[in-house]
Amino acid sequence: MPRGIQKRSLTARRGRAASIVSALAKAYPRADCALSYSNALQLLVATILSAQCTDERVNTVVGPLFARYRSAADFAGAELADLEELIHSTGFFRHKARNIREACRIIVERHGGEVPGAMEALLELPGVARKTANVVLGTWFGKAEGVVVDTHVLRLSGRLGLSRRENPVKVEEDLMALLPREGWTSFSHRMIRHGRRVCKALRPLCADCPLSRLCPSAGKAGK
């Protein structure tokens, strides 16, 4: 394909993505992270717990959890059985408990007890992949290092024609190429909100969707 055609195609895709961003901003102007937290450590732990679990369920768990464990050192010294009991309802609780305790041990030993604000350091923590790192960096530290691609963003990116790929890391690459860096964090929050309220997995509410005129899957998704 000639280089000029590729460039025009990318320009057109970015223009369409900008229209989607604008529609999402109008529909969800105050969308933010739905997890309950008050500091970087709590956000990190809550995001680890949110894997294969709803934010609503996580939010019912973190109150007692954060009352008992207030620092990275507290988590690092936790008895696994006690930690597992507190997070049991989030699913995969044994794996999550081990990851949280080990991640906090590393935070204490390598970062003075403070959650690091760099992608490379976060990815060294057990239980932390790009999605979790992007949540912490974008939401707490205000650093746009990538786009959060959870199940909602993954699903909507395909339906909206923003990415044809299925691997979250590859979808993130596509979104980063289409969207302005300063809007990566807010875009993710709004896509997640839209996925929960309107563009649901099984029965998307296409008739009520503010993005329907921009969506090639309108009226077809979920069938």
The mean of the pLDDT values for the chain is 94
pLDDT value of position 221: 62
- Is the pLDDT score of 65 beyond 90? yes
* 26 tagged catalytic: no
Q: CATH 1.10.1670.10 spans which residues of the chain?
A: 20-32+146-214
Closest to 201 measured CA to CA, from 147, 158, 171: 158
pLDDT value of position 198: 97
pLDDT value of position 220: 78
Distance CA 66, CA 69 (A): 5
Distance CA 124, CA 218 (A): 40
Closest to 96 measured CA to CA, from 140, 151, 44: 44
- 82, 131, 220, 223: which one is catalytic? 131
pLDDT value of position 36: 97
Assess contact for 184 and 144: CB atoms under 8 A.
yes
Spell out the long-range contacts of 32-35 with Cβ–Cβ below 8 A and sequence spacing 24 or more.
32/139, 32/189, 33/135, 33/139, 33/189, 34/59, 34/192, 34/193, 35/59, 35/62
Residue 222's pLDDT band (boundaries 50, 70, 90)? low
Q: CATH 1.10.340.30 spans which residues of the chain?
A: 40-140
Closest to 191 measured CA to CA, from 32, 35, 44, 54: 32
C-alpha of 170 from chain center: 15
Residue 2's pLDDT band (boundaries 50, 70, 90)? very low
Q: Which 3 state secondary structure label does DSSP give 23?
A: helix
pLDDT value of position 9: 86
**CB proximity list for 165: less than 8 A, separation 6 or greater:** 171, 174
The conformation of residue 212, written as its DSSP 8-state character, comes to G
Assess contact for 162 and 20: CB atoms under 8 A.
yes
* 7 tagged catalytic: no
* Percent of residues, the chain, with pLDDT higher than 90: 93
Distance CA 49, CA 40 (A): 14
pLDDT value of position 179: 97
Mean per-residue pLDDT, 85-109: 98
Assess contact for 149 and 179: CB atoms under 8 A.
no
Distance CA 78, CA 87 (A): 13
pLDDT value of position 1: 39
Mean per-residue pLDDT, 193-213: 95
For 145-193, the pLDDT digits (tens) are: 999 999 999 999 999 999 999 999 999 999 999 999 999 999 999 999 9
pLDDT value of position 7: 55
For 104-152, the pLDDT digits (tens) are: 999 999 999 999 999 999 999 999 999 999 999 999 999 999 999 999 9
Mean per-residue pLDDT, 26-42: 97
Distance CA 39, CA 153 (A): 25
For domain 40-140, which architecture applies?
Orthogonal Bundle (1.10)
CATH of the structural domain 20-32+146-214, one choice from 3.20.20.140, 1.10.1670.10, 1.10.238.10, 3.60.20.30? 1.10.1670.10
pLDDT value of position 195: 97
Torsions phi, psi of 44, nearest 5? Answer: -60, -50
- 82, 150, 220, 223: which one is catalytic? 150
∠ at Cα 18 (16, 21), nearest 5°? 115
